[in-house]
Structure 1
Amino acid sequence: MMKPVGLPLALMALCAAGSPDSAALTEKVLDVPGFADFLAVDGNTVWTTNDGRVEQWSTGGKIAFVTMPKPCGAMTMGFGSLWVGNCKGGEVYRIDPQTAAVQATIPAGIGPSGELNVVSGAGSIWAPDQTAGKISRIDPAINSVIATIDVTADASYLAFGFDALWVVSGKGQTLQRIDPATNSVTHSLTLGKMPGFLAAGEGAVWVQEQGEGTVAKIDPVTVSMVGRVKVGDNLKWGDIDTGGGMVWLRTTDDQTFVAINAASMEIVTRAGKASGSGALRYTPSGIWTTAHDLKTMSWWSHAPQ
């Protein structure tokens, strides 16, 4: 199914010199049985969590899968592997993306909520231990936790960027900065209602304030609030990424995703129809989104001119 959508953006940069109709995206919809949700980009393919498995997809269809008890949360690619949280057992799974083989399972306190991130940075993999209020730091050279860091209770949302780990607690309404050189919290900032997924890129740390319907922009140097962008009534159960000068939001209400100009903090695109909860990942060539309630995944790319 190919559905052309007129949009005022190019994926590498906003078409500032062109008219609103000077760029378009085509949505290619893939039927994905089960509950396709979180995404990790792997070259021209993408991995998604699903019921009892993670799957690798291209625009041509499913390529591979790996059985897991309960894959959950946003995954990461790093150190030649795919890293996935398992909410039924609490481990981080290390998977070889070339062979679809499990290389290691590392106890890390993952879960119980699937609203979480596993991320890479500073030579490590980072995973939230939500119940204990700690972050687990995993050394990929030995596939073991080498440090645990105390954070706000119920913290589960992570991002790495600007030489730091950034941690959000939804219930605690905080953003914390962790210095990987010392494994300690250096700053803590109070956020709006129900903060959730975040991204570090395009000059700032960006946090979904799900209960407010806003995206908060944080200066990574001063760890202070720069401003907020109002997107809708709420931003519950969506996702966020950065790239190409934009902040990209998978939304639940009103549209499939939104693009915000990172410099001007203006919404420049509202694309697609509301399609329930799902995830999003940016690539320079296009955008991947999932809609697990519709059992679909979409690839949004430039339409032929």
Structure 2
Amino acid sequence: MSSSETATTTTTTTSNKAPAAPEARAAEIVREYGPFDGVECVGGVTHDGQRVWAAGGARLFAFDPESGERTRTLDRAADAGTAFDGKHLYQIAEQRIDKIDPATGDVLRSIPAPGHGSDSGLTWAEGSLWVGQYRDRKIHQIDPETGAVVRTIESNRFVTGVTWVDGELWHGTWEGDESDIRRIDPASGAVLERLQMPQGAGVSGLEYDGAGLFYAGGGGSGKVRAVRRPRAGAPAA
């Protein structure tokens, strides 16, 4: 059921006045999945503890990260970020975010997306949804019940996927032919760490699996890539 009410927005904006980004290290891609039949573009990506879910435009689908085989397909609009809260999926579909029962595919609730169609990444953390705004170079923390914006963090690159890792905020970027996965200070927006993707390997969605890997949507390649999270304190290559 779609919400017909306009969410009340209370926004705290943190500007990025940080120094230049640190030197990037090469992203370690450990596996590629896809392209998948019938999927021309992969948007959002999430992980439910067992399966990887990916937004494939007209469908939301899941695959086994061990075998690479598709295990579920839900006929739900899925053109951007995807998230999992431990029980339900959340999916950006144009100007709304749908809360979906993964067992049945039923949409349980819809809330307005803060970018009104310009939203990109999506993740769940600390009882909130976090939404990337692509060309606005922002990440919004929003109330999952109303869509109200609670807080805004600014980046200095186009924001695609968003994920939290052990209290660290990471997001994907994609401008032109360059894409990276970066860790930023959630208070200031300062860039703390960067993983540079190979030329042509864009990041359209991002999620951490809790076991050492980021899963990154590959946009028009139709692929999902598993990228190793660097060990804390590991030097740049």
TM superposition score category, shorter chain reference: 0.5 to 0.7
Note the C-alpha offset of 1:195: 3.5
Any idea what the Cα deviations from partners look like across 1:20-67, whole Å, max 9, x if unmatched?
A: xxxxxxx998xxxxxxxxxxxxxxx85x443x41xxxxxxxxxxxxx3
How many angstroms apart in 2 are the aligned matches of 1:143 and 1:229? 38
Please tell me the residue identity of whatever aligns with 1:126.
Y
Note the C-alpha offset of 1:83: 1.7
Please tell me the residue identity of whatever aligns with 1:141.
A
Is the CA contact 1:215–1:228 (under 8 Å) kept in the aligned structure 2? no
Is the CA contact 2:46–2:215 (under 8 Å) kept in the aligned structure 1? no
Alignment of 1:102-181 (within 5 A): 102=70, 104-111=72-79, 116-129=80-93, 131=94, 133-151=95-113, 152-153=115-116, 154-180=118-144
The 1:300–1:196 alpha-carbon spacing in structure 2 relative to 1, beyond 3 Å, is closer
TM-score normalized by structure 1?
A: 0.47
The 1:92–1:204 alpha-carbon spacing in structure 2 relative to 1, beyond 3 Å, is same
Number of matched residues? 191
Note the C-alpha offset of 1:188: 4.2
Alignment of 1:192-211 (within 5 A): 192-197=155-160, 198-207=162-171
Note the C-alpha offset of 1:82: 3.2
User: How high is the sequence identity, in percent, across the aligned residues?
Assistant: 14
Please tell me the residue identity of whatever aligns with 2:124.
F
Residue aligning to 1:77: 47
The 1:122–1:199 alpha-carbon spacing in structure 2 relative to 1, beyond 3 Å, is same
The 1:49–1:73 alpha-carbon spacing in structure 2 relative to 1, beyond 3 Å, is farther
1:184 to 143, 147, 172: 147
How many angstroms apart in 2 are the aligned matches of 1:277 and 1:84? 17
Alignment of 1:14-33 (within 5 A): none
Is the CA contact 1:288–1:300 (under 8 Å) kept in the aligned structure 2? no
The 1:289–1:196 alpha-carbon spacing in structure 2 relative to 1, beyond 3 Å, is closer
Any idea what the Cα deviations from partners look like across 1:189-228, whole Å, max 9, x if unmatched?
A: 26245541322233243445767x986422xxxxxxx224
Alignment of 1:146-295 (within 5 A): 146-151=108-113, 152-153=115-116, 154-180=118-144, 182-189=145-152, 191-197=154-160, 198-207=162-171, 216-218=184-186, 226-230=187-191, 249-251=194-196, 256=197, 275-278=199-202
**What secondary structure is seen at the aligned counterpart in 2 of 1:184?**
coil
Gaps of 5+ in 1: 1-26, 30-44, 54-66, 219-225, 231-246, 257-273
Greater strand fraction, Structure 1 or Structure 2: 1
Is the CA contact 1:126–1:137 (under 8 Å) kept in the aligned structure 2? yes
The 1:102–1:189 alpha-carbon spacing in structure 2 relative to 1, beyond 3 Å, is same
Note the C-alpha offset of 1:145: 1.7
Note the C-alpha offset of 1:127: 1.4
Note the C-alpha offset of 1:138: 0.9
Residue aligning to 1:12: none
Note the C-alpha offset of 1:124: 0.8
The 1:94–1:144 alpha-carbon spacing in structure 2 relative to 1, beyond 3 Å, is farther
Alignment RMSD (CA, Å): 4.4
Residue aligning to 1:3: none
How many angstroms apart in 2 are the aligned matches of 1:203 and 1:217? 10
Please tell me the residue identity of whatever aligns with 2:73.
T
Gaps of 5+ in 2: 1-26, 232-237
Is the CA contact 1:208–1:215 (under 8 Å) kept in the aligned structure 2? no
Is the CA contact 2:159–2:174 (under 8 Å) kept in the aligned structure 1? yes
How many angstroms apart in 1 are the aligned matches of 2:127 and 2:227? 32
Question: Structure with the greater relative contact order (CA < 8 A, sep ≥ 6): 1 or 2?
Answer: 2
Is the CA contact 2:88–2:100 (under 8 Å) kept in the aligned structure 1? yes
How many angstroms apart in 1 are the aligned matches of 2:211 and 2:62? 26
